[in-house]
Amino acid sequence: MTLDFAFLDWNVVSSFILKGLVFSVQLTLIAMVGGIVLGTVLALMRLSGKPWLVMPAAAYVNTMRSIPLVMVILWFFLLIPLLLGRPMGAELSAMVTFTLFEAAYFSEIMRAGIQSVPKGQVHAGYAVGMTYGQTMQLIVLPQAFRNMLPVLLTQTIILFQDTSLVYAIGAYDLLKGFEIAGKNFNRPVETYLVAAVVYFVICFSLSMLVRRLQQKIAIIR
């Protein structure tokens, strides 16, 4: 069999692939922002020292981290409509699923970041009359975000790679766009090869940017 990539012109890219790329990026950004916000809340719950906050947060994080993402995607897609009594749609279901799933991983990253801030700074905040909330908001969390920024961005790159799993519920992501183009032109091998190259270029480029950011943060410290 001879490989032929000539059919992958701009018309094919704009008709099939760009739509999927836009959704993959959109899904990544929504899940990243939502996951970091929810993950920070979970991290604060686990560090609160109060059993009624620690136990449900720990149970949530450990459960999500112990289940394959593709199973969580399928569960939400199939079960949520039964609970709501109406279909949710593959795209919306993917956004909710990824946000809730990634929150468990971002939670552990943020928990490590919060614990990396010296305890003396926390005690200093209390000494000047700050409450727990003020100390976290003004002293601890800004430093934790800065310390963990490279790791948060690395997890986001992994998240972008994982968006290809929404293929399981028929959502139109980047991989789905390549698949449809391959079927329409009867060139599945070529399209999957190009898809792999595109994912590699995007993720490798972002990884290099994260590495440079990590070096700059290390210099600032």
pLDDT per residue over 153-174, tens digit each?
999 999 999 999 998 899 999 9
Residue 34 has pLDDT above 80, yes or no: yes
Q: What local confidence, expressed as pLDDT, does residue 56 receive?
A: 96
**Model pLDDT for residues 187-213, shown as the tens digit of each residue:** 889 999 999 999 999 999 999 999 988
The torsion defined by the Cα of 164, 17, 9 and 7, in degrees rounded to 10, comes to: 60
Q: What burial class does residue 205 get, using C-beta atoms within 10 Å of its C-beta: 0-12 exposed, 13-18 middle, 19+ buried?
A: exposed
Q: Across all residues in the chain, what is the average pLDDT?
A: 90
**Residues 98 and 61 sit within 8 Å (Cβ to Cβ):** no
User: Which residue, chain included where needed, has tokens 């906050």?
Assistant: 53
Six-digit token string for 178: 């390549």
Rounded CA separation 195/198 (Å): 5
pLDDT band for 220, please (50, 70, 90 cuts). low
Q: What local confidence, expressed as pLDDT, does residue 194 receive?
A: 93
In degrees and rounded to multiples of 5, residue 32 shows phi and psi of -65, -50
Highest mean pLDDT among 11-15, 128-132, 141-145, 190-194: 190-194
DSSP string, 131-196: -HHHHIIIIIHHHHHHHHHHHHHHHHHHHHHHGGGGGGGT---HHHHHHHHHHHTT-HHHHHHHHH
**Model pLDDT for residues 49-62, shown as the tens digit of each residue:** 899 999 999 999 99
Pick the residue with more confidence: 52 or 135? 52
Q: What local confidence, expressed as pLDDT, does residue 221 receive?
A: 55
